[in-house]
Amino acid sequence: MKRTIVLVTLLTLLVVAGNPTKAQQAKFGHVDIAAVMKATPEWEAAETELQQFGEELTKEGEALQTELQKKYEEYQQKQATYSEAVAKLKQQELQEMVQRLEKFKNDAAQSIETKQDQLLTPIRQKALDAIKEVAKENKYTYVFDVSTQLFNSESDDLTDKVKAKLGLK
């Protein structure tokens, strides 16, 4: 995705640079969208909620891990007393617990990613809307995020203007 953005950016710059009348009219700006998002009050609330969500999942995972460890230790202690059929049954039970733990870990990672998207998408959209407004008000032709810039020589930093538009410091 970043590679595509960089290629489109470079092609756009080449087209504009190849047409001197357009280049004179073009006005470039850049924004640190991450800094804008982190400056919003919603960011801290989202970060706290995401951290709590992650901690809850971690506790659940640790409980499953502890249960598995206890069952494994019990199996090791009593293994000599088990018949072959019981030993196979206990091994199968342990294997199923390992699989449940792995599935939980994968599901937890997916849940955290989904929760992060759910919490951060509205913040990102608010920042993007403010960027568009600032760009229009100040007649910028192109505004780039600093994370995608390869070179910045004649581009105005609009981060503070965007923060001001959102009423942030």
- Give the model's pLDDT for residue 156: 74
Query: What amino acid is encoded at 116 in this protein?
Result: Q
pLDDT at 157: 72
pLDDT at 17: 54
Model confidence at 63: pLDDT above 50? yes
- pLDDT surpassing 80 at residue 4: no
Identify the pLDDT of residue 89.
Answer: 94
pTM exceeds 0.85, yes or no: no
pLDDT in tens, 70-113: 999 999 999 999 999 999 999 999 999 999 999 999 999 999 99
Residues 6+ apart with CB under 8 A from 105: 61
Give the C-alpha separation, 97 to 59, whole Å: 17
For the segment 9-45, what is each residue's pLDDT rounded down to a tens digit?
544 554 555 555 544 578 888 899 999 999 999 999 9
Model pLDDT, residue 24: 54
Share of the chain above pLDDT 70, in %: 83
Mean pLDDT lowest among 15-24, 74-83, 121-130, 156-165: 15-24
Residue 48 banded pLDDT, cuts 50, 70, 90: very high
